[in-house]
Amino acid sequence: MTMQGLSTSVLNAIYHRRSIRAYAAREVDEDTLQQLLKAAVQAPTARHAEPWAFVVIQDAALLEHISDITKAGLLRRAEGDANALGVFAAPEFNIFYDAGTLILICGRTQTPFVAADCWLAAENLMLAAHAMDLGSCVIGSAVDALNGELKEELGITADFTVHAPVIVGYPREEATTSPRKPPLLLKHIKAAGAA
Ligand SMILES: Cc1cc2nc3c(=O)[nH]c(=O)nc-3n(C[C@H](O)[C@H](O)[C@H](O)COP(=O)(O)O)c2cc1C
């Protein structure tokens, strides 16, 4: 691929990636997973710390269990929020939208800028997924439970914190549009006399 073609495909992924919330049964295979993780670790990383580590879960029963525990925690905290109560109380609602693959991007606790590094890795992973015809979605609602009651059960040691849970899978339907406001430019400061 030429450099021009490469940059066009990067822009294409940036503009067309959307959060996907309906997945086909087709499993993400090992080779594809490895490509996603390799793309994730190309992200910029402060002081070249590379503080990330990954947990990959491809077990429908475990994903449902994580969803149920998360929903119970969210319900406890959603007191008074009728909308949230309605969504999280529905037994059929799976916070992972029945995706077959959940990737937890974890960061080594105490590393400076660890959250930034992990989220940059997450965006890389999601853009790579889009380029490979996969859908993805961040599931931030699971972070508290993953770092709380589920952490030990998942074998995540104390020296790591889950930052970015991302589901991945083959989309079952077209993504809905998700328009953005124009960038809010607070200032554009130029040197005096510059064009
Ligand atoms: C930090 C973070 C947490 C998110 N958590 C959830 C979530 O728990 N569940 C969900 O369905 N989407 C979640 N999303 C996806 C956003 O809703 C989505 O990115 C936003 O609506 C813009 O849509 P787009 O990704 O299709 O452009 C999260 C996104 C981010 C960045």
Question: How does pLDDT run across 44-71, given as a tens digit for each residue?
Answer: 999 999 999 999 999 999 999 999 999 9
Confidence of residue 87 (pLDDT cuts 50, 70, 90): confident
pLDDT reported for residue 5:
63
| CATH number given to 16-59+99-169 | 3.40.109.10
As given in the structure block, the two tokens for residue 51 are 């503080």
As given in the structure block, the two tokens for residue 134 are 């996969």
CA of 78 to the centre of ligand 1 (A): 18
Residue owning the nearest CA to atom 27 of ligand 1: 18
What residue has token string 């994903």? 63
* CA 21 to ligand 1: nearest atom: 11
Across all residues in the chain, what is the average pLDDT? 94
Residue owning the nearest CA to atom 15 of ligand 1: 138
Q: Is the pLDDT of residue 167 over 90?
A: yes
Q: Is the pLDDT of residue 112 over 90?
A: yes
Domain spans in the chain, listed from the N-terminal domain onward: 16-59+99-169
Q: How far is CA 102 from CA 8, 22, 126, 179, in A?
A: 29, 14, 12, 26
As given in the structure block, the two tokens for residue 8 are 């066009």
Query: How crowded is residue 55: how many other Cβ atoms within 10 Å of its Cβ?
Result: 16
pTM of the model: 0.95
Confidence of residue 23 (pLDDT cuts 50, 70, 90): very high
